[in-house]
Homo-oligomer: A and B are copies of this chain.
């Protein structure tokens, strides 16, 4: 259970060298570990001889300084939880290790996949920050597989594109969104919700579930489905930043739901910005489980 923590790429590579051949699984995080991260670590544990977790609150992917400052930092607890979930090594670099003086390189993913949803709201520079830090982490760890949560669906699409385009030799594994009993997607940001806001936020998974129910009932008109989401959110007093149905691979708007589509929402609840999504795919019924009486 005593997990080794390393702070530099040099230490990381030295520690991993003897284990490289047997296979490495990697879970990149910004810390503040919750059950969602642990589910990624367990997936990595099941498929790889060595499991590496990174903890780095990446400043370049935050648009608002206040959001960065408020992001929870709980490293000691994270390391203990990671150890219980079977992590072998934690890479927790400083900002100076990741971005030393003179750092001048960024990895940018252009096109529709970064122009829409979070890219439209937070700006493309958010995904430049994500793509750059993920590329750096993948090159530092050189894992066989890297695990990401489906909650950040657009991030998964962007990372897959970047890895494919640059030819980084790693398999990107997307794991299902981990949810609380009321359906709320687990997020490190949830700890910043007041009790009242937490209750309000439960309308987010309810709204997605309402769209899933309508989809299962045969509704195929994107506008009809997004209206259901908006109605459910409005009933809880929430005004979403976006409710969009896009192609699950290209993230381009779609007129009809013939193939797999991503229904994605972003909602500000009090001072906390939350995102969530579900995939709507003909023939697939993957409805969010909600605790009884929550609707």
Q: Which residues of A contact B (CB under 8 A)?
A: 9, 13, 102-111, 113-114, 131, 135-136, 139-140, 161-162, 165-169
CB distance from A203 to the nearest CB of B (A): 34
Q: Which of B105, B106, B167 contacts A136 (CB 8 A)?
A: B167
Q: Which of B102, B107, B113 contacts A107 (CB 8 A)?
A: B107
Q: Which of B9, B104, B140 contacts A109 (CB 8 A)?
A: B104
Contact B136 A166 (CB under 8 A): yes
Contact A139 B169 (CB under 8 A): yes
List of B residues within 8 angstroms of A167 by Cβ: 9, 136, 139-140
List of B residues within 8 angstroms of A135 by Cβ: 166
Contact A108 B105 (CB under 8 A): yes
Complex Cα distance A113/B103, Å? 11
List of B residues within 8 angstroms of A166 by Cβ: 105, 107, 135-136, 139
Contact B104 A113 (CB under 8 A): yes
List of B residues within 8 angstroms of A113 by Cβ: 104
Contact A103 B136 (CB under 8 A): no
CB distance from A136 to the nearest CB of B (A): 6
Closest to A99 in B: B165
Complex Cα distance A162/B132, Å? 11
Q: Which of A104, A136, A140, A162 has the most CB of B within 10 A?
A: A104
